[in-house]
Structure 1
Amino acid sequence: MGRIPAAAFTVKQCLLVLAAVFAVISSAAWGDKQSDPESTSMAERYDQWMVQHGRVYSDDAEKQRRFDIFKSNVELIDSFNAAGKHKYSLGVNQFADMTTEEFKASHTGFKNTVTRPIGKGGFRYENVSATPASVDWRAEGAVTPVKDQEMCESGWAFSAVAAMEGITQLTSGQLISLSEQELVDCDVNGEDYGCNGGVMDNAFVFIINNGGLATDVNYPYKGIDWTCSEEKSSPSAATISGFEDVPVDDEAALRKAVAHQPVSVAIDVSGSEFRFYEGGIFTRDCGTDVDHGVTAVGYGEASDGSKYWLVKNSWGAGWGEQGYIRMERDVDAKEGLCGIAMRASYPTA
């Protein structure tokens, strides 16, 4: 009988030891996030997201910091979608572990403060009296696949190149993917600054003076500022003769231009909702401090009567609607949604 208490104590002792070991293991788990059901779900989503996007961090502290940013962004996205009262949805994309400031410093690049050169020849579509109800230059073979500017503020270069690719196809019948990197590397003697931003009209001036652009096969994109290569830039694969500006703050004029060719436009992408856009017609009042260059490649009207611009971005095909966004058209603001009618221009053959 005297041994029973001792045996019982031994069993109890073992259980306490096991419980202590389990507690130590649990508390040592990454970020101590696993104990809360909601955090566990978020941590699992984060792990899956890291695998999907190939994220690897330098240490646990950086991983924890990025998790906190990710969690805040995902909560915003989930809350927006749960409201269910919008014409567009948000998604947890490749930018989910970045702050707004980090994103703007790496994925925009239009220099709104730079005085752009004035296009010669006026506005050739001014007297156009009728335009199609809808236009999609992708269907006409005038748009190359969506590209990715990566961690470089070169949206201005991608916008200018996409517009040039469009007019080249429309005049020659050939769709040629041209080099953004040539602009990033070589258009540096004026007010374009490679991965530190630029202006589409300045890019057009450079292309004219340069005698065209090479293909992106000959002069591939690196996503960093590099030394201009005369070898890679020769021969030019396409040229333009000039460029023209669309009348400022005039969506009707922009429609006339887009009805005839892809057009470079600048927009304000500073809001989180634009960054995480997944699909639908974007209607967010996002301001007019234009900071990113994109390309209007069409327009149309949805089944519910909502009018939109079809815009090609340069954040990869994993963003938005396979790299595109449909933005509300003919809004009350004269500048257009996100300032799309403020700084529009197009190259001429």
Structure 2
Amino acid sequence: MYSSGKLGRELVFVSFFIFFWTCTSSATSGALSEPSIAAQHDAWMVQHGRVYPNSAEKHRRRQIFKYNLDFIQKHNNQGNKSYTLSLNHFADLTNQEFLASYTGALYNPHTLPPSSNTYHNITLTAADIDSSVDWRKRGAVNEIKYQGQCGSCWAFSAVATVEGITQIKTGTLISLSEQQLVDCASYDGCHGQSMERAFEYIKGNGLVREDEYPYTGRQWTCHRVGGVDLTMIRGYQSVPPQMEEELLKAVANQPVSVLLEAKGQAFQFYSGGVFDGRCGTELNHAVTAIGYDGDANGKYWLIRNSWGKQWGEGGYMKIRRDTGTPEGLCGINLHATYPVV
């Protein structure tokens, strides 16, 4: 029979052992206890204003949150990656749900307008361009915008390039209307469109300022805004596919719309560094290439996204370039276009 003192000492020892084993196991596997996950999810819900309709949905979303958190921790704990991941406002979405709501580039080479088949080789050599370019520093890039749960990335990418070339030519940076494209350039603007259709619409109709036709994240009936100055383009050019040097020269001249494959949790939760995660060439998302450079992690493209400032490096991404493959990482060298004014 145990004495109370001996029993107390053994209970303390057992409790300490359990605590030590739990902490060691969690650190080794990257796993978190259910109370810890619940606390993090609750804090995340408050931070992002997320409210669920019932307890069953909250439980389902918590399991998705747990799965995403585990993926993020395992990636970051590897310690040999050129980029990091973190929780963001997409943390309670499966990757399939995320892709359905936040991408939207349509790419089918057989259905593009005929003029998109005309490629333009810029009359520059690699020696003529700067070793690094960042169009933000030259005043040609507006603040990061947020497309919301509408597959309108194509509109944001097209607008950003028109804003950029207009500033380069006039010295004035204005914010133009993505909603006008969503409503007027596509029969279902929240479910994607090609860049070529966007530029064809702008060529024929022009764009009004964002404050004249503000973004709502939903498609409405197209309406004209009278009595305002329209921003026009003469047309657009396509960068020859699988020719990274041509894309480099194009981006040295102006911001360029590029398509890429944005699939996978790594893309969903990218938070910084030079991205070189696993991805293919099923082009499903439009972004804007606004520069290029290199650092200790290698050469990269600088892209402007439309997923808000909570994603990536304040809304931007560095994605590896000079990979030695013609298509580039995530297919970034396959389909790029830019407006001509």
Shift of 1:121: 6.6
What corresponds to 1:214 in structure 2? 208
User: Is residue 237 of structure 1 aligned with residue 233 of structure 2?
Assistant: no
Q: Distance in 1 between matches of 2:156 and 2:261?
A: 16
Residue in structure 2 matching 1:340, options 326, 332, 337: 332
Shift of 1:100: 1.2
Which amino acid in 1 is paired with 2:112?
R
What corresponds to 2:74 in structure 1? 79
Q: Does the Cα contact within 8 Å between 1:166 and 1:261 map onto a contact in 2?
A: yes
Q: Does the Cα contact within 8 Å between 2:118 and 2:238 map onto a contact in 1?
A: no
Aligned-partner SS, 1:156: helix
Q: Distance in 1 between matches of 2:108 and 2:95?
A: 20
What corresponds to 1:125 in structure 2? 122
What corresponds to 1:316 in structure 2? 308
Question: Which segments of 5 or more consecutive residues in structure 1 lack a partner in the other structure?
Answer: 1-35
Which amino acid in 1 is paired with 2:147?
Q
Number of residue equivalences = 308
Q: Distance in 2 between matches of 1:347 and 1:285?
A: 31
What corresponds to 2:189 in structure 1? 194
Q: Does the Cα contact within 8 Å between 1:178 and 1:237 map onto a contact in 2?
A: no
Aligned-partner SS, 1:106: helix
User: Is residue 99 of structure 1 aligned with residue 97 of structure 2?
Assistant: no
Q: Does the Cα contact within 8 Å between 1:166 and 1:175 map onto a contact in 2?
A: yes
The verdict on how the C-alpha distance between 1:234 and 1:345 changes in structure 2, with shifts beyond 3 A counting, is farther
Residue in structure 2 matching 1:49, options 44, 59, 62: 44
Q: Does the Cα contact within 8 Å between 2:102 and 2:151 map onto a contact in 1?
A: yes
Aligned-partner SS, 1:140: coil
Shift of 1:239: 1.1
Shift of 1:313: 0.1
What corresponds to 1:300 in structure 2? 293
Shift of 1:127: 4.1
Q: TM-score, normalised by structure 2?
A: 0.87
CA offset digits 1:272-326 (Å, max 9, x no partner) = 1001000000011311001000000000011x26100000000001110000000
Q: Distance in 1 between matches of 2:227 and 2:39?
A: 50
Q: Distance in 1 between matches of 2:196 and 2:228?
A: 23
Q: Does the Cα contact within 8 Å between 1:119 and 1:242 map onto a contact in 2?
A: no
The verdict on how the C-alpha distance between 1:139 and 1:37 changes in structure 2, with shifts beyond 3 A counting, is closer
Aligned-partner SS, 2:166: helix
Q: Distance in 2 between matches of 1:283 and 1:135?
A: 20
What corresponds to 1:181 in structure 2? 179
Which amino acid in 2 is paired with 1:332?
G
Shift of 1:230: 1.1
Q: Does the Cα contact within 8 Å between 1:164 and 1:347 map onto a contact in 2?
A: yes
How large is the RMSD of aligned CA atoms in angstroms? Answer: 1.6
What corresponds to 2:272 in structure 1? 279
CA offset digits 1:29-75 (Å, max 9, x no partner) = xxxxxxx9711111110011001110000010100000010000000
Percent identical among aligned pairs is: 48
Q: Does the Cα contact within 8 Å between 2:179 and 2:215 map onto a contact in 1?
A: yes
